[in-house]
Chain A
Amino acid sequence: MQTRDEVLEQVKAALVELFELEPDRIMPSARLNEDLEIDSIDAVDLMDRLRRQTGRKISAENFRSVRTVDDLVTAVHALVQA
């Protein structure tokens, strides 16, 4: 079972690797679109990456309400708990 902190680290690692973001910018409150400039096409790549990393089926539906890094961690955490 993964803790929320472990999921946060995974999400951070994915964001850094895919989008070359400075780890400092990935605050829980950072908005993916406005602050980190991740658009709807990037979201597809991000989902792919998280799918591989977690081994879970992740669909766009799981992320419809995701706006911030914190939302994303919550959504992924919920999936790996399920």
Chain B
Amino acid sequence: MGERQTYLWRILVTGTCFVLFGIGGLILGLLVFPALLLWPGDSRLRRARTRALVQRSFRLFVAVMSGLRGIGYEFEGRERLGRPGQLIVANHPTLVDVVFIVAFTPAPACVVKAALFANPFTRRVVQAAGYISNAPTDQMIEQSTAALKSGDCLVMFPEGTRTRPGQPRHFHRGAASVAVRGAAVLTPIYIRVDQPLLDKTQAWYQVPPRRPNIVLRVGDDIDLEPYRHLPSPRASRQLNAWLLEHYEQELERTAGYNESA
């Protein structure tokens, strides 16, 4: 196919994926999860099952996106994801990065924006999976800490929303605060796309000129020991400042375009 045809093809694939995502959310929420409730087990077991199912669905979604040649991806070090009490933090350059993280992390919990609990396509899924709303802040911190202490693996995006291209990166302190309060281990993922892809400023049909490639690299665990002996407000401020600086350095070393100023 020529360049023009592949471009039009990718718009078609992208639109199809959005529709599939919405329909998938509805089918899971309206049919599959209620059916799962008929299975025996306590609430913890049920939630684990639901999360595992969300993970499988996202894995299928990744297979569709890449199989239809809408996107290419590399995911380095993913075998280190999904440990008990593990807090996973990631930068958030594109709408699709979260799909990859959930797809390749065994049964994770996620902190997601409150709007997903109101959206008809997503709200049953995020509820059934026991995901945590990012607002109000005090509740988010307490629920996230409790989830980690109970042995869940939790995914958070310290940027709070997708990166705004051309603006300095900013990390909210919530993730650092949760890390020092409740994480057994803190693991970063560095994410780069090779061109702007479904970022904060783009509509769904604004696909990149070439087939996009996303690189997700799982970094070494971050040593929380130096922060454990400080009062939490100081510990989280220091950790947050360190994380932000660390991310800028590590993203430099990851192939891709630099979206932040």
What is A's interface to B at a CB cutoff of 8 Å? 17-20, 39-45, 47-48, 60
Contacts and interface: CB of A to CB of B under 8 A. Distances in A.
Contacts of B200: none
Contacts of B233: 18-19, 41-42, 45
7 contacts: A39-B173, A40-B136, A41-B236, A44-B137, A44-B138, A44-B177, A45-B231
Contacts of B139: 60
Contact of A43 (B138, B174, B234, B236): B138
B133 to A, nearest CB: 14
Given A18-B233, A41-B141, 18 more contacts: A17-B231, A18-B234, A19-B233, A19-B234, A20-B234, A40-B136, A40-B138, A41-B236, A42-B233, A44-B137, A44-B138, A44-B141, A44-B177, A45-B231, A45-B232, A48-B232, A60-B136, A60-B139
B79 interface: no
A41 B137 contact: yes
Interface string B134-158: 0011110110000000000000000
A30 B141 CA distance: 26
Contacts of A43: 138
Contacts of B138: 40, 43-44, 47, 60
A42 B141 CA distance: 11
B30 to A, nearest CB: 33
A39 B177 CA distance: 12
A41 B231 contact: no
